[in-house]
Amino acid sequence: MKNQKIPRATARRLPIYYRYLKLLLDEGTTRISSVDLAEIVKIDAATIRRDFSCFGALGKRGYGYEVSELINFFSGELNQDTLASVALIGLGNLGHALLNFKFQKTSNVRISAVFEVNPELINTIQNGVPVFSMDELEEQIAEQRIDVAMLTVPADAAQSIAARLEDSGIKGILNFTPLRLDVSKQIHVQNVDLTNELQTLLYFIDNDISN
C-alpha cells in the first residue's frame, strides 16, 4: 500500500487510530466495530470505514475488526519499526518542552540533535541529546540522516533557517513559528500555531459553536 495515494485527511487520522488501537489492546480488547471505535476516537463511523477502505478489506461486515491485525497493518503504514530521527532547531522554552516530551514512548520518533545559537548551550547534552551550533546544521543533518526538523526559533529567523534545512535535504518541517514558510513543494510543512489554536478555541466558546 506504500505507493497508493490516499487522501491527506485520511493520512492525518492514521496516527490517531494507531494510538487508540494500542490502548484498546493493552486493555484487553481484541475485536471492535467501527461504531465502537468511533465512540472512542470521536470520529464518525462512516469516516472510519471510508478511511479503512482505502487500504482494502481490513474487517468483515457484521464482525468488525481484529484489533491486533489493525495495529500490525497501521504499524507498517506508519513505519513504526523504523526509528525516525528528528532535529530540534531552537532550545527556548518551547524547545525545552519538546525535548522533555518522551516521543519514543508513544511513537517511533526520537530527537537526535538540537541546534542552537546560545554559546552556553552549544556542545552540551540536554536530556541525553547533543546540542550543536547552528554552524553545524548542514553537516549534522547529512551525517545523521535526519529527514524531519522541528522549528521553534524566532519568526524573523524562521525563513532563512527553513531555506538551509531545504538545502540540507530535509523532507519535512514541523513549524511552531507564526511565519508561513516559503519552501518548495517537495518539503512537507506542518504549521503548529498554539496562539491561533487557543484563540480559535476561545472563539468557539464565546460563540457557543459545537464540535
User: Could you tell me which CATH number the domain at 8-77 has?
Assistant: 1.10.10.10
Query: What residues of the chain score a pLDDT lower than 50?
Result: 1-3
- Specify the pLDDT at position 197: 82
Residue 19's pLDDT is what? 87
Summarize the annotated binding site for NAD(+) as residue ranges.
90-95
pLDDT score recorded for residue 107: 64
Q: What is the pLDDT of residue 157?
A: 95
pLDDT at 82: 67
Cell of 71: 495495529
List, by residue range, all CATH 1.10.10.10 domains of the chain: 8-77
What number of other Cβ atoms are within 10 A of residue 160's Cβ?
10
Predicted pLDDT of residue 120: 94
Q: What's the CA angle centered on 30, arms 24 and 34, to 5 degrees?
A: 75
Q: What is the pLDDT of residues 160-178, one digit of tens each?
A: 999 999 999 999 999 999 9
Please give the pLDDT value at position 1. Answer: 46
Can you give the pLDDT at residue 155?
A: 93
Give the annotated binding-site residues: 90-95
CATH number of the 84-196 domain: 3.40.50.720
DSSP 136: G
H or E segment to which residue 115 belongs: strand 109-116
Q: What pLDDT does residue 84 have?
A: 78
- Span 4-22, pLDDT tens digits: 578 878 888 888 898 899 8
